[in-house]
Structure 1
Amino acid sequence: MSLATATASTVSARLSTASLKDNSAPERTAPHGNADTFAADAPIEFTLITTRDAFDALEDEWNALFARAATSAQVFQTFNWNWHWANHYLSGAPGGMGGIGLCVLAGYRDGKLVMVWPLVRERVRGIAQIFWMGEPVSQYGDVLIDDLPDALPALKDAWNYLRKHARADVMRLRRVREDARVAPLLHVIGASASNPQRAPYLDLASAENFAAYEQRYSSKARRNRRRFMRRLEEQGHVSFARIHGGAEARAMAERAIDMKTAWLASRGLFSQALADKRMRSFFADVADAASHPTGCVVSSLTSNDDVAALDVSFACKGRLAVHMIVFNLAYEKAGVGGLLMEHCISDAFDEDIATFDLLAPGDAYKLEWADSTIGTNDWSQALSLKGSAYVEIYLNRLRGQIKSTLASVPKSLRKRLNSFLP
């Protein structure tokens, strides 16, 4: 892949309510005060962040914006999450691959950061694309924006700025929730939606405690889990652990990647993202939490000191996003995944978690636990004639057909062919 790191240029333009400026670094100090004290017609100045130093300089302002305006579902839009991602996936990072460059759009009103589009840019087979910073590890993508009285017009101006200055052929935004802050804009600009999924979640706020909450599950399901627990205890000592950072969390996160890979292989499946060594090192670092903590919690179930099941989740503003829950294939018939899930839900009540988010896709086992679901979509929008052809011919027509065909290809060929599918 060719290097696609965007360079910064200085541009000033007026788009309805926005005064726009493109620089490689924000040279401002954010004043105190809330976004709702600003007049709706105050200009927004946009800055395109294209260097690592400029991204790092955003830390304090990004964190302040997130603290006052982000929803719990924006767990993957924290500065710390994206800081770790940049350490592993950005061009120039140790172990990283050339071609992925920053294209973060920051919007300022009255000198205060009020909007962040966490984007990167990459050229793949001649097509320059902008997409969410955090792929493929992020499970939801969104724009951070203050509670502005003119939020949609401000987002439109941001979109117009990207069209002019991102130097891209297409924008691809994956895993956008129906309630995402950016969702109304995507409808307005006529972006194409694809790959609809459901993200199941548990509404823990609907019950006072776990004992009350679990009554919504059938008596048969609860009896089955108790039976699995008795049988496991008959084999020896069973223990649960909840680990917040450190060397043990790091080792267990790496083990979870190995377990997930083994499970996929046992079913003739392959994940390009999991096979990438960068994902393993990313999860190791966020679990360790030696710097820039992301709210990572690693939970384990062990039988006679043998790891039977693992859960890697991320806590944010009362939400726990369950990124991975995996089991040792040696315990496949022992129900250890369900036992660990039950224990994690119980622990979540103790940690004041209101939403236990199982994330997309809406697999059958998740739906058995969930109270409800919310939809997600992948969105694409062309920014050039070449991008239009790519969206209409490849993304909207051919890609889905190719993926369906690959599902029927023998496992020995599927792994090699998947690597050619952008």
Structure 2
Amino acid sequence: MEFTLIQTPSEFDALAADWNALLAESVTNVPFLRHEYLRAWWSTLGGGEWPRAEHSLSGDLAIVAATENGQLAGIAPLFLTDNLEGQPALMLLGSLEISDYLDLIARPDDLPAFVGGLLDFLARSGPSAWRALDWYNLPETSPTLPLLRAEAGKRGWVFTQENFRPAISVPLPGDLEVYLASI
């Protein structure tokens, strides 16, 4: 996989169609990962959730896109900001309160190679200021979590997983008609 750092809104915008096409096949396909949602989130930093400096956003766009054979294979929708502890951290676009579920965007078969390659890329070529990957709102069932744990361990990095503010979900049976018939 070839990895590229996306740092400008115009580069972010150029990914829209391919982003949503990949999301449709991703391990986690939720509305909070759609390009238009995260683009709107970025333009307001979550409606003001992240404080703004006097004349600039409090964060830098740091999306990592991976391609394989000319096709988009993975997206880490990231931005660089100070985390809640004041450390420079790479966080998922959509963090913290506004979006219920976030994750990396990759097909199930591509996810292991994407996670390993992503961590290598960030260590080697990512934004130089980051000290932590501080990712909120990954679903507890996300296959990204055990892969992150394993890949962090290979590098001697500390991996911590905790429930911050769980989002409750209720699985519904079948389609809308089946659900309506059941109530």
Task: State the TM-score bracket (shorter-chain normalisation).
Answer: 0.7 to 0.9
1:121 has 2:80 as partner = yes
- Runs of at least 5 residues in structure 2 that lack an aligned partner in the other structure: 154-158
1:169 has 2:131 as partner = yes
User: Match for 2:149: what amino acid?
Assistant: H
Name the TM-score, length of structure 2 as normaliser: 0.78
Matches within 5 A, 1:9-158: 44-69=1-26, 71-72=28-29, 74-89=30-45, 96-97=52-53, 98-123=57-82, 127-136=87-96, 137-148=98-109, 151-158=111-118
- 8 Å CA contact 1:145–1:181 kept in 2: the answer is no
**TM superposition shift of 1:211:** 4.4
Q: Secondary structure at the match of 1:203?
A: coil
Following TM superposition, where does structure 1 have runs of at least 4 consecutive aligned residues deviating by more than 4 angstroms?
A: none
**TM superposition shift of 1:203:** 2.7
Matches within 5 A, 1:20-419: 44-69=1-26, 71-72=28-29, 74-89=30-45, 96-97=52-53, 98-123=57-82, 127-136=87-96, 137-148=98-109, 151-164=111-124, 165-167=126-128, 168-188=130-150, 189-190=152-153, 191-195=159-163, 198-205=166-173, 208-212=178-182, 214=183
Spell out, residue by residue over 1:171-221, the C-alpha distance to the aligned partner (whole angstroms, 9 max, x if none).
100121122242122221241112355443223216824342x3xxxxxxx
User: What residue number does 1:251 align with?
Assistant: none
- 8 Å CA contact 1:121–1:128 kept in 2: the answer is yes
> How many residues were matched structurally?
164
Identical amino acids, percent of aligned pairs: 24
Q: Secondary structure at the match of 2:169?
A: strand
**Structure number with higher strand proportion:** 1
User: What residue number does 2:156 align with?
Assistant: none
How far, CA to CA, are the matches of 1:139 and 1:160 in structure 2? 28
How far, CA to CA, are the matches of 1:183 and 1:152 in structure 2? 11
How far, CA to CA, are the matches of 1:209 and 1:182 in structure 2? 30
User: Match for 1:202: what amino acid?
Assistant: V
**TM superposition shift of 1:48:** 0.5
- Runs of at least 5 residues in structure 1 that lack an aligned partner in the other structure: 1-43, 215-422
Name the TM-score, length of structure 1 as normaliser: 0.36
User: Match for 1:80: what amino acid?
Assistant: E
Instruction: Kindly report the root-mean-square deviation, in angstroms, between the aligned alpha carbons of the 2 structures.
Output: 2.5
**Structure number with higher helix proportion:** 1
**TM superposition shift of 1:106:** 0.2
Greater RCO (Cα-Cα under 8 Å, separation 6 or more): 2
**TM superposition shift of 1:117:** 0.4
